[in-house]
Structure 1
């Protein structure tokens, strides 16, 4: 199967974070067939470090779906419960550095477009799972990673090549569990990348800036039901407490030290107009240009959540369901990427850095490598997109796929000497 068929197969079978059973299963089998030593499941993830784990029912349904689709049951069993990370290692001929490449695999909970102009729909590879879609290009990332893995395996090199296939990037939920397991503790150079992000086709950036640190919280308020007319004073309105928190969170001041963001994306509660709501659920996020500012912002948000509960006589629970840090790319590796790109005729526009303006949990991998004396970068590979990221009409120009593989090959050849 060529890279275009591979990407389209992955696109048609999207799996959201920690349910990538079919995708990860295929990744393991292909990597093993290329001669890699492959670890997966609990061997590459700390279960307790995962954030925003899907419900047990959702995990079971996705597991069964992958099984029915022909996934290897021995591999599946090791991934049961959402342990869908994969790490492959290939030793070179002689001594040298450990060079790692990271690829994310997860899709998004989005209903894919069925409009007549949407190419995946026209060409028969639209998502077969309603409500799940590859709307950020991770299908392309995984296809690039597997094709690169096959091609580099036949090349002579020194040192050690490590390929990290990460689950649950969306929402900042999967990388930390792999960091805590130590999968990058031996890495000297780490290369991460993303397709699109407003960079045009034929352009490449050596690195990325404007990572936003992020924390995502799920909050449950518990109150007391009562008749809204006959005994309103007997009730404790959980929805009102949540609404109080919402308004005050959005009233938080911006920071002079850097960009900050807050957003309450989900607010649910109540059963009928004549019943005081006894339960409410809120899902929100805060982001900041610096890791320290985000920690400060998170503490302010938590204070609002707590005091809104106290105001209305409620109990509450707060769960961290996702997070990302900030990171700085190393100039040495940015230069490696750009020099490698100059040897791939496809690329004609070379940029030192490109702004992300969003969050990415690869930052945890990057920070750990740097803490241990290694170098990192996060590159953007330009491609025309049919609609913005996380949009039902999102699609990539597949012309970037073989060029990206060639770029990674050149990076690996230069780095594994």
Structure 2
């Protein structure tokens, strides 16, 4: 339902006196540009079905939303005001606005600058449910904001008798229609009214032919901007995109590849980018792919996915189990890749609206190979001003659709080490003839733990783990040497440096105590030290703002730092970066296995959330930076309408005036309604007030609803609207800058 497109404005000019509003004047000292007029739009409707003398003479067009009556009422107010013009010490501006019905004419009027000096605005709408001469309104949120959407779901057509040879878009679209209702029934706060309506559905197959594609469309409505944004993001998560992401993830999962060997994985990524029409660079860091969406000009923002697998034999028996012996995607990198590709698909659909560039980073070798470091060294991210990444988290505390992160240190830095202790072998029965490297190495392992327990600040988390130990003697033979190795982890760079220094001292010292020699290698050439993952403070605020809109306030959580590590940290050393955890635990299913487990699985229901978050983080970042004044994510013809929110002070003014004009008993409060009105654009720029004017006769037939081909106007309501317009304007002037110059007699006459 649309609402009227004629609004009454008041401009206060306290520095001059009588100014003609509609007439020209020969007095050069008088102002002459104080009136505003515009054409009016018709409410779109079927053919008018009411047979009367003044029925619409234009085929398939009619005033089914009372804009004709609103025009007459404002002209009536103008006639009253003109008769008393010499008593007006300010200016009443009458705006006859076009295109309320979906065209956001109010927005264009504001952009014209003709209302820059206006200090208050009033508007009304006739309603067929309120008795004649009665009015109703409320302060605060009054009518919903709204947006429109149109979706096309592509399948593969075929004969209805052989559906197995087709991909049925009708079924997919029907599922989407049903699932869209869950955005309100299961995801929306019951105290935050929201509506999603699919109003058109077209699948043009014959009775026995499955079509190639189906289109659906409708509207979404809510009272808060956050809810409108959330609905918009969730609507985009269609079954088409979801199924596509799942298919990609499973294809990659079946053929895992280790660090710098991701050749087939890279082929899959490039094939999908080719299908989407997204340009890219390859190879980067041997097997990586860098995609580009947008203008190719600044600002640049990056989204990162790691693409490598692990040397683990998968133990999960399912249709898409790894087909490569001894290799598995046990850390969710297949899901990360699918989510960034999902974001790419969403972003590509809106590429013409992106005034910067989104860089897609499909990075090899996260698992110990420091692929991020090599991507940086290639120079492909030199112009990027921010980068975002995520990791799926199989923990009970983080269900599907929830996210967690924090500002500052999030994940530990880490380094690997190997040590070799040389002794002298001998028979186990004669240890005095040998120099025992096993005892020396064992002493070193025990003493290494004291670097954390006795030397580290308890408030500075650190971990030292020896994970392998090899002494290859027989049962009765002391070996010549022993090797052992492990990792160190800490949240501060200086703690990592201290641990490295002390590890070398302890191992060589314990070797010397036991008459052995030792070598310690941190393998920085092959497995460089991973810095701590430290989230940028400003990007943390950005993440919170976006995530709350996408997944809801209650689903965004803080978290404590953890001592796992991520080579995403290399990016953060070079540019602002932000990393977060994405939940995927089902509240009803079995607990998921931990990362790097041969029993690890991914809950694919998490994929749409990751894609939506990636896309939203990137586009909102561009909005808030250099491209902010160039990006408009609303369509030019049908922009998103904000909610209509009445000014509290103007509500008091309305009550005072309305009770005098129509009587105390005829002024009513009302609940918010989920219809929308482009009057809300004015309220974003200046104080505004909108109200309903009744026109239902207590003795006549019930009136038809707005936008009905049978809609009629009870013209007895016109004088009430004219009088309310005139009284609201003049009384507003009385109570503001012109109050001391305007006599009370005029108000009494009105």
- Please give the TM-score of this superposition, normalised by the length of structure 1: 0.78
Indicate the residue corresponding to 1:249 in structure 2. Answer: 448
RMSD: 2.7
Distance 1:289 1:342, change over 3 A: closer
- Are 2:405 and 1:202 equivalent residues in the alignment? no
- Are 2:499 and 1:297 equivalent residues in the alignment? yes
Distance 1:181 1:312, change over 3 A: farther
Task: Identify which of 178, 184, 197 aligns with 2:375.
Answer: 178
Indicate the residue corresponding to 2:611 in structure 1. Answer: 405
Indicate the residue corresponding to 2:321 in structure 1. Answer: 126
**C-alpha displacement at 1:361, in angstroms?**
1.7
Task: Identify which of 297, 305, 318 aligns with 1:103.
Answer: 305
Runs (4+) off by over 6 Å: none
Indicate the residue corresponding to 2:336 in structure 1. Answer: 141
Contact 1:334 1:352 in 2 (8 A): no
SS in 2 for 1:18: coil
Indicate the residue corresponding to 2:544 in structure 1. Answer: 338
Q: Per-residue displacement from partner, 1:43-78 (whole Å, max 9, x unpaired)?
A: x33xxxxxxxxxxxxxxxxxxxxxxxxxxxxxxxxx
- Are 2:364 and 1:161 equivalent residues in the alignment? no
- Are 2:556 and 1:351 equivalent residues in the alignment? yes
Any residues of structure 2 matched to 1:2-401 within 5 Å, and which? 2-41=244-283, 44-45=284-285, 83-90=286-293, 92-93=294-295, 95-114=297-316, 121=317, 123-155=318-350, 156=352, 157-171=354-368, 173-196=370-393, 198=395, 199-205=398-404, 207=406, 209-229=409-429, 232=431, 235-254=434-453, 255-256=456-457, 257-310=459-512, 311-320=514-523, 321-344=527-550, 347=552, 349-351=554-556, 353-357=558-562, 358-369=564-575, 375-384=576-585, 386-401=592-607
SS in 2 for 1:2: helix
Q: Per-residue displacement from partner, 1:300-349 (whole Å, max 9, x unpaired)?
A: 112122223444433525132353222432343233333333443x5563
Distance 1:291 1:315, change over 3 A: closer
Contact 1:86 1:166 in 2 (8 A): yes
Contact 2:414 2:530 in 1 (8 A): yes
Q: Per-residue displacement from partner, 1:227-268 (whole Å, max 9, x unpaired)?
A: 4446x5564444443323212112324322511111000111
Tell me how far apart the structure 2 counterparts of residues 130 and 264 of structure 1 sit (CA, whole Å): 27
Contact 1:225 1:275 in 2 (8 A): yes
SS in 1 for 2:615: helix
Contact 1:241 1:314 in 2 (8 A): no
**C-alpha displacement at 1:37, in angstroms?**
4.0
Mean Cα displacement is larger for which, 24-33 or 242-251? 24-33
Q: Per-residue displacement from partner, 1:190-241 (whole Å, max 9, x unpaired)?
A: 11111115322221236464321211112334444444446x5564444443
Distance 1:32 1:239, change over 3 A: farther
**C-alpha displacement at 1:380, in angstroms?**
1.7
Tell me how far apart the structure 2 counterparts of residues 38 and 305 of structure 1 sit (CA, whole Å): 48
Instruction: Provide structure 1 residue ranges, at least 5 long, that are not aligned to the other structure.
Output: 46-82, 115-120, 370-374
Mean Cα displacement is larger for which, 23-32 or 356-365? 23-32
SS in 1 for 2:478: coil
Instruction: Provide structure 2 residue ranges, at least 5 long, that are not aligned to the other structure.
Output: 1-242, 586-590, 628-750
Distance 1:5 1:356, change over 3 A: farther
**C-alpha displacement at 1:170, in angstroms?**
2.7
Distance 1:241 1:182, change over 3 A: farther
Q: Which has the larger Rg?
A: 2
SS in 1 for 2:521: strand
Distance 1:10 1:94, change over 3 A: closer
Indicate the residue corresponding to 2:23 in structure 1. Answer: none
- Please give the TM-score of this superposition, normalised by the length of structure 2: 0.45
Tell me how far apart the structure 1 counterparts of residues 478 and 548 of structure 2 sit (CA, whole Å): 65
SS in 1 for 2:325: coil
Distance 1:312 1:162, change over 3 A: farther
Say how many residue pairs are matched.
Answer: 363
Contact 2:508 2:517 in 1 (8 A): no
Distance 1:306 1:21, change over 3 A: farther
Contact 1:203 1:348 in 2 (8 A): no
Q: Per-residue displacement from partner, 1:100-154 (whole Å, max 9, x unpaired)?
A: 111112223333224xxxxxx2x41122233322222111101112232233233
SS in 2 for 1:349: helix
Q: Per-residue displacement from partner, 1:160-203 (whole Å, max 9, x unpaired)?
A: 22122222223463322333333433211111111115322221
Tell me how far apart the structure 2 counterparts of residues 153 and 20 of structure 1 sit (CA, whole Å): 25
Tell me how far apart the structure 2 counterparts of residues 29 and 220 of structure 1 sit (CA, whole Å): 46
Distance 1:241 1:84, change over 3 A: farther
